[in-house]
Amino acid sequence: MLFLGLYRLYSSLLCGLLVYFLAAGSVWMALFCAIAFRIVWYVVERIIGNRIIQRAFDRHILEFKQHCGPYGIRIANKAAEEPRIKASLAEVFTDDREKLKKTVEQLEVMDTFFNAGMRPGGDEFLLHDLKLKYGKHRLERK
């Protein structure tokens, strides 16, 4: 499994090898192209990931606000400003039912820890609680 998880490395090395054998014949040019290919890959992945998160956020945020009330509105407004909170909310805004089930199971385990006294500070517990409530609501609804 680790072998398949390194596909980005293999593709950038392949790009460097292709440049070395076909175009430049220089090790430095091949190394530069391998690094540039990996940087471009990272930027494209980041852009696509942010668009997926934004689309899910736009699709579910109104229902989230209605279901969670004033605290949900507060977290939703914070999520519009902070990408970390938006990405966290995107875990329960997913359209994949299996991912949603796994996320709710993980949130329930974390809820057990939080109820045992290991609560985080600030709005982290509120974010967790609202994600758990909304995730359960979406599972029951489907």
The number of folded domains in the chain is: 1
CB 92, CB 34: distance < 8 Å = no
Report the C-alpha gap between 131 and 66 in whole angstroms.
Answer: 13
Give the pLDDT score at 1: 53
pTM of structure: 0.78
Domain of 63?
A: 2-141
CB 132, CB 107: distance < 8 Å = yes
CB 37, CB 16: distance < 8 Å = yes
- Tens of pLDDT along the chain (142 residues) come to 566 678 888 899 899 889 988 887 788 888 899 999 999 999 999 999 999 999 999 999 999 999 999 999 999 999 989 999 999 999 999 888 999 999 999 999 998 888 888 878 778 888 999 999 999 999 998 6
